[in-house]
Structure formats: structure tokens, C-alpha cells
Structure 1
Amino acid sequence: MFHLNLGVHDDPTVHLTVLQLLYTYDFPTVIASASTALEILPVALELLFEDCVKACVKFLEAVPWSEEEEKRVLSLIPLLREEESKELLARVSPGEDDFYEEMLHGLIEKAMYSQPNMAFVKVFVAKLLRDFSSRESARRVLERAFDANLRIVKESLEQYSSPDFRGDHNETEAIQRLHLHTAMTNGRHLLWLVERMIELKVADLAVKQWSEQAAFTVDLQKAFRDDAWRNIVPGLPAVMLRCTCKLASAVAAGTILSSRQVRMKLVKDWLPVLISCKDNVSPMLPSHKTLYLELEETFLRIISTLPMSDAQVLLQQCLSFSTRNVEDCPHLVTAFNTWFRRASQPPQMENLG
């Protein structure tokens, strides 16, 4: 068999095909698949057959590639001139350093604001975050989204809690409803973000921020004392408490290692919100009761990690956890037993000397 040894391909039929194209120029008929273009291209380059090279590149620019074909394209790009490889390179190479994170951030935005299949999109984006984000890139994009949504929720509740009554009553009421709906929508987004941050072990800054919301928690308590939210966003208290419970549970479990100050402020600021919800949210659904109990237990576990002076103050605020039957609140009994057991111990500082 006749064999052209051009040093670029072992299959002589490919060389013969390229030689035929020198005479026929029938590129559309011959170059009909990515694999064919990839076989012909190196031979055309070796023979300096520019028109054939252009035809192969043009075809490769326009069609999808398999993963194996993409590897072959990448190996051939260095052999092409800059203007020839520009479009191929643009497909496989990000042009900016933050390209990767911008994609992840865009996916998170779509997950939160896509309609109507938001739940399905969130599940899929959560998988992408698990599979493709490094810990640091996940941290940056999730913190960015968390900051933005927390700011919206805070501003909405602040405006709801301090309304401007100078306008028409109906207009004011409509604006108030909008503030509550905005807080609820973005509160749900916050909960999803918190879950992702905990899952990827990047929630330490979120916990710190959540512990620094004294003004926000006051606005929440004001809102929950008002009856308007009941018919507009009845799920708002549960969403806010679920965010708190997720973060607090991660702290109590040691998944997030927070400083004493953060742990203390987390309980100090959010405990009144829990108490306000228990006092003002009725009727209490079974799911609410379970959530309240879980958060009570979690707060008490965190309190047990604090210095006794801090625990003393916070435990007194937890008396509202008590029930008609003492046996029904073992978590509260255990917390006070622990504090009094420690209080009865002789001071240890003298022994340290």
C-alpha cells in the first residue's frame, strides 16, 4: 500500500483525502464531523494547505465536541496562528481571573430568582456548588449573595417597622405589604444560602454577621407584635428562626468554631426573637413547636459553652421555655442543673497558683 510518511498521522487514507482536497476543494462534503476535521487538520497544517486549515477550523468553531475531541482541539491550538485559534480558544479558556466565580454567582442568582421552577433549580445549583466550587470560591460567592439578601431583608423590616404615614392610607398599607413580601422572599433565599454555606463548611462569617443584628432583631420583634404579618406572610417568623436554628446548630455541634463573643451575642440577640414568636405566633403549628423546641435546646447548649457570668444572665431569659409540667422541659432542667452544679464548685483560680 502506498504510504505518505508526513509524520503527522498513521492513517494513509487521511493523507490521500487531503491530497484529493487539493484538487477538488470539496470541503463541505468531506469535512462532515468534528472527528474528521481533527484528523485532516494536522495533515493540512503539515502541507501548508491554508484553505483546508481554514475549512477545518471553521467547522470546529461551529459544532459541539466530545470530551475527547476537545482534548485534541487543545493539542492543536498551539499549531494555529492567533487569528485562526481565537474562536476555538474562546470556547475553552476563560478570559478573566474571576470568570469562574462570576459563573457560580450567576447560578446562585438564577436559583434564587428563577420562576416558576425555583425549587428544582435550587437543587441543581446546590449540586453544581458541591461538585465544581473550591471551598474558597464557594465562600466568596455565597458570602456575596448572603450579604445582599440579608441587607434587603433588614431594610424591608426596618421600613415596615418605621412606616411613613404621611401619604394615603391605602397606599401606605400597600407599601407595608410590599415590605413584608420582600422580607419573606429574601428570607427564603437566606435560608437556602445558609444551608449551602453550612453544607460546604463556609458559614463562619455568616454566623458572625447573624450575631451582629441587634437592630434587626428589634425590628423583627416589632413586626411580630403587629397583627398585619399574619395574613400577609404567615411563614416569616418560621423562616427567620430556621435561619437562626441552622446557624446556631452548626455552632453548637462544632461544625462552625465561633468565638465566645459571637456565641454569646448570637443567643443574646436572637433569644428575644424566639420568645416573641412563641408569644405572638398563633395558632402554633406542630412544625413550629418542633422548631421552637430545637432552637431552645440549641441555645441552651450554646449557653453551656459560655462563662458562668454570661450564662447566668441568659439562662434567666430562658425561663419562658418552662412548661406546666416540669417533666416536659428536660432541656431547661438540664441547663439549670449544669449551671448550679458548676456554681457549687469551689473556685479553681486559687488552685491554679
Structure 2
Amino acid sequence: VSSAIMFDAGILSCLECLEAMPWSEEEEEKVVSTLNQLDLQYSTAEVLQRVSLEPSTSENPDGIFLQLLEGILCAKDDRSRREMKSLLSVLLKGHLTHGDGSDGNGVNVNKVEINKEILYHICDKCINALLQHCMTATIVEDSGQDRGALMSEIAREADNLHWVVDILIDKKVCDEFVKLWADCSELTTLHSRIPVMYRYEISRITAQLCVAIGRGQVLVSKNLRISLLETWLEALYEDFGWMKRACKTLDKKSMEDGLGQMILTLPLAQQQSLFLKWFDRFLNRGDDCPNIQRAFEVWWRRAFVRRYISEDRSQSQLALYNS
């Protein structure tokens, strides 16, 4: 109104009031939009300082993201670390606490893009830390180190890695991590040499990847899927009983469905080999082995029923042709 009637004192008073008052997020959008629409003779920069940075003072967002991520990884208070992980996940994924987060076309305008190199830098740090802790775990009985503290460190690093991989999956840039994890032969070797109570948290990463691949959230080549299973499937089987009992966050059904679906993406010969090995293990381990019976049934129909149907049809067609 003051602008429309060219009431300068009123304009200045309004700007001073806006600069001093707190804004809700809805009010913030309205203030910015209104000030940008008005052709004012007075600078609005001071009013808008709380929502904008000058180029000379702005910091590289990647540097801020890295600082936040590393801060969470190094946090000393576990409860605060969990809370901030949840918060940062929500913010990076663009999930809002108000509004629908959409631009009207179904596009989430609040989703934040983060340089994947930062995430992979964090992954490398977590894997290296896991290697160090697992090396220590192989000699823990002789070193006199606190077993409980070591178990806690391994669980912490595995949980950190699980969290970052979840972000990679959401950002649809997890394909490189599948190769990275499939190439962790040294970690796999150490994994087999340490007690299951220390290592089972690591297998959550493999389960997480199997679920993502089985759901089509991560698309990687056939050779890479085979390599991942060759490297980590045995460890996943060995740790499953402990994971099921000790991991409160483990979704057993999703993990079993994901693993089964992932195996079903492989050529039929590989499916047969993996399902027959699973069959023997399940008979001997029972509930301590993932139950991928549904996927086994699909393989059975692919390998026998549908093939026989195809052969019957071919024979019928041949009989008709000969007649």
C-alpha cells in the first residue's frame, strides 16, 4: 500500500519491521516474492540477508555437506549421532515437514543435490576403518583389547556405511558402490576369520544392496551382480542368524525377497547353482538361513515347467506339421 501511494516513510517503516520480525517459512516465501515484485527505490538487501548470501561470502555447498557428514561419523554421543543422521537423511532426500514439496508437476523441488564424490569419499573412510577394526578383531584375544569396545566400533562403522549407502541408493548413484563392495576381497577374508559377534553388522551392507538390486533401485551389469554374490553371499548366509536376532532394524522379509529377486536376475545356469546351494543350506540351517522359497519356486518353473510347456508346444507343432 505504501508503495502504491509512494509513501516513503511508510515503506521504510515496513522494511525496518520486516527486518526485525521473525518469519515462518510460508511468510518467508511471501516476503521474498512481494519484495521482488515491487519496484522500490530503497534497497531490500538488508531485509533479505537472512535468506540470501552475497557471492563473496557464500561457501561451497559441497564443503558444508562434507563437514556435516564427517561430523556425524565422528560424533561421540550415539543418540545425537542417530538423530542427526535421521535429520540429514530427510533433508538430503527432500522430505518436508510441511507442504507437499512438489512444484505442481510431481517434481520434488526441495530435494538437494550433493556431489557423489563426497559420498564415495565417506564410503572409502568407512571401509578403511572397517578393515582396521577387523584386523584388530583377528588378534583381539591376544591383544587384550576390550572386546565390547571393538564390537561397538565395528557396528558403528558398519552403521555409518549403511547410512551413506542408503543416500547413494536414494540419489540413484549406488552402482559404483556395488563394484566397490564386490571388490572388498580383503575385508571378506578378514570377515571369515573373526567371530560372528563382531562381524554380523557388516553383512547388513550386503543385504541392503541385495534389496536395492532386487527391487530395481540399483541397476548394474550381470557380471557385477555375480561378483557381488561371489564375494559376499557366503558371509551373508553365515551371519544371517545373528543379524536376525541382534539387528532390530533388519527387515527379514524384505531382505529375503530382495536376495531372491536378485538371484532371479541372473542367467538360468547361475540361478540353478545358487538355488541348489541355498536348498542344501536351508535344510541344514533352518531359520538361520534366509528363506528364499518364493524365488526358488520361480526358478523351478523357469527351469522345468515352462521349458516342458515349450517342448510340448514344439512337439505339438511338429506333429501338426507332419500330419
Does residue 1:204 correspond to 2:175, yes or no? yes
Could you tell me which residue of structure 2 aligns to residue 126 of structure 1? 89
Matched, 1:190 2:161: yes
Query: What does 1:34-73 align with in structure 2 at a 5 Å threshold?
Result: 36-38=13-15, 64=22, 66-67=27-28, 68-71=30-33
Worse overlay, 195-204 or 317-326? 317-326
Q: How far is 1:304 from its partner?
A: 2.5
| Residue 303 of structure 1: aligned partner | 263
- The correspondence of residues 1-353 of structure 1 with structure 2, limited to 5 A, is 9-11=3-5, 14-15=7-8, 17=9, 36-38=13-15, 64=22, 66-67=27-28, 68-71=30-33, 92-93=52-53, 95=55, 99-109=60-70, 115=77, 116-131=79-94, 138=113, 140-141=115-116, 144-145=118-119, 147-163=120-136, 172-174=143-145, 180-224=151-195, 230=197, 236-237=199-200, 239-278=201-240, 281=242, 285=245, 295=255, 297-323=257-283, 330-331=293-294, 333-334=296-297, 337-338=300-301, 340-341=303-304
> Deviation per CA, 1:219-246, whole angstroms, max 9, x where unpaired?
2222236xxxx3xx5xx51x32332222
Structure 1 or 2: more helix by fraction: 1
Asked whether the 8 Å contact 2:256–2:292 carries over to 1, the reply is no
- Checking the alignment, whether the CA contact within 8 Å between 2:130 and 2:158 is kept in structure 1 is no
Counterpart of 1:131, as a letter, is: G
What displacement does 1:164 show? 11
CA offsets 1:16-69 (integer angstroms, 9 cap, x no match):
x48xxxxxxxxxxxxxxx97242xxxxxxxxxxxxxxxxx6xx87776555233
> What are the superposed Cα offsets for residues 139-168 of structure 1, whole Å, 9 maximum, x if unpaired?
525x623x34433443334334444999x9
Q: TM-score, normalised by structure 1?
A: 0.59
What is the SS of the residue equivalent to 2:193?
Answer: helix
> What 5-or-longer segments of structure 2 have no aligned partner?
96-107, 312-323
Cα contact 1:268–1:314 (8 A) shared by 2:
no
One-letter code aligned to 1:203: C
Kindly indicate whether the alpha-carbon contact (under 8 Å) linking 1:248 and 1:298 is maintained by their aligned counterparts in 2.
Answer: yes
Deviation at 1:215, TM superposition (A): 2.2
Does the aligned pair in 1 maintain the 2:126–2:158 contact within 8 Å?
A: yes
**In structure 2, do the counterparts of structure 1 residues 299 and 131 end up closer, same or farther at CA, with 3 Å as the change threshold?**
closer
Q: Is contact 1:157-1:220 (8 Å) kept? A: no
What's the secondary structure of 1:125's corresponding residue? helix
| Distance in 2, Cα, partners of 1:258 & 1:185 | 28
- Which of these two proteins has the greater Rg computed from alpha carbons? 1
Aligned residues: 284
- SS of the aligned residue for 1:256 comes to coil
Q: 1:76 to 1:119 in 2, by over 3 A?
A: same
User: What is the distance in 2 between the residues matched to 1:165 and 1:246?
Assistant: 25
Counterpart secondary structure, 1:92: coil
Paired residues of 2:268 and 2:303 also in contact (CA < 8 A): no
- Secondary structure of 2:94 counterpart: helix
Cα distance, 1:169–1:274 mapped onto 2, change above 3 Å = closer
Note if contact 2:137-2:194 (Cα within 8 Å) is conserved in structure 1: no
Q: Distance in 1 between matches of 2:85 and 2:132?
A: 29
Taking every aligned residue pair, what percent have the same amino acid on both sides? 17
Cα displacement string for residues 74-98 of structure 1 (whole angstroms, at most 9, x for unaligned residues) = 56899678xx958966851363897
CA–CA separation in structure 1 for the residues paired with 2:166 and 2:22 = 36
In the alignment, the residues of structure 2 paired with residue 77 and residue 109 of structure 1 have an alpha-carbon distance, to the nearest angstrom, of 44
Q: Find the aligned partners of 2:173 and 2:22 in 1 and give their Cα distance.
A: 36
Q: Which amino acid aligns with 2:88?
A: V
CA distance in 2, matches of 1:252, 1:88: 47
Kindly indicate whether the alpha-carbon contact (under 8 Å) linking 1:138 and 1:202 is maintained by their aligned counterparts in 2. Answer: no
Secondary structure of the structure 2 residue equivalent to 1:254: coil
Two-structure CA RMSD over aligned residues (Å):
4.7
Q: Is contact 2:211–2:257 with CA below 8 Å preserved after alignment?
A: no
